[in-house]
Amino acid sequence: MEEKKMCFSCVDCGLRNCDSGKKTYPKFCLSQGLDPKVREAVKEKYIKDKENNRIMQASAEVECDYYCKLTRVQETVEWAKRLGAKRIGIASCVGLLNESRVLAKILRAHGFEVYGVGCKTGEIPKTEIGIDARCMEVGANMCNPILQAELLAKENTDINIVMGLCVGHDSLFYKYSKAPTTTLVTKDRVLGHNPVAALYTADTYYEDKLFH
């Protein structure tokens, strides 16, 4: 049997010298092995595309000015302000509509117009698109991220915020969203919407569940 070749990448590096400025790198370092032409071509996308540049400038400023000082909710507000956003869309899981209402109240207090769309909007039964009937045990109607994106686009939102869309459903929202999108809540019903907790306990409490 042919031995499978191991492919090393950033997830296998423990140095992080690409961030620290130190000049010691592993042999498989993606930065050191990068074609200079690719690097320059990507850099040009940040410089020449005005929207890309605007988003990167605002994001870098928020990171610099508020690193470890503000919550993600506050950072999102500041990011929206620096982008000059006026109208903000919220793509919400219906299970997080209470939290989305609180978020909308905060955003409106900062002068933004807010328009939210729940994931069950359209009320399409799951079986109508070929989803197995057994999946109706956790809800008869399917989540509808494409419609969420289209309705927010119709409202001409400047930016969109994802509030706890399911794994995979969020990918379709990102695919169809017309406006730049940031994520405020990543759903994890077991861990109180804190999925990284499973990674922090991967070598202890969750070892048997994650590796077997």
Q: Write the pLDDT tens digit of every residue in 107-160.
A: 999 999 999 999 999 999 999 999 999 999 999 999 999 999 999 999 999 999
Could you tell me the domains of the chain?
Answer: 34-69 (no CATH), 85-211 (3.40.50.11840)
| Phi and psi torsions of 152, nearest 5° | -70, -35
3 state SS for 66-115: HCCCCCHHHHHHHHHHHHCCCEEEEEECHHHHHHHHHHHHHHHHCCCEEE
Whether the predicted pLDDT of 3 surpasses 60: no
pTM over 0.85: yes
Q: What is the pLDDT of residues 48-73, one digit of tens each?
A: 999 999 999 999 999 999 999 999 99
* Rounded average pLDDT over 20-29: 88
